[in-house]
């Protein structure tokens, strides 16, 4: 995974592919994604029994980042 300083920086990256702009997200959105209960409660007793609930929250947050990040439907 690459971290970039700005949207301009990512657009100047040699691996950037035009047409993938919807996958560019601001850092606060990404940090918010990884500050959910799936990650913050992993040391709690009973974490495994709540993992499906935490994963649901994570997927909902992931889908909120835009169409690029939506999981494909079966």
Mean pLDDT of the chain: 78
Cα–Cα distance, 15 to 39 (Å, whole number): 29
Query: Which is more confident, 1 or 12?
Result: 12
Using alpha carbons only, what angle is made at residue 57 by residues 54 and 61, rounded to the nearest 5 degrees? 140
pLDDT at 52 over 60: yes
Residue boundaries of the structural domains of the chain: 7-69
Q: Which H or E run contains 1? A: none
**In terms of pLDDT, which residue wins out, 49 or 18?**
49
- The owner of tokens 């913050």 is 40
Q: Is pLDDT at 39 greater than 60 in this prediction?
A: yes
């Amino acid at each position: 995974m690459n971290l970039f300083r700005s949207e301009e920086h990512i657009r100047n990256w040699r691996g950037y592919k035009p047409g993938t702009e919807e996958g560019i997200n601001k850092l606060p959105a990404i940090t918010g994604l990884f500050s959910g209960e799936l990650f913050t409660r992993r040391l709690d007793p009973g974490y495994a029994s709540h993992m499906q609930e935490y994963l649901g929250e994570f997927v909902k947050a992931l889908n909120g980042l835009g169409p690029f990040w939506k999981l494909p439907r079966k």
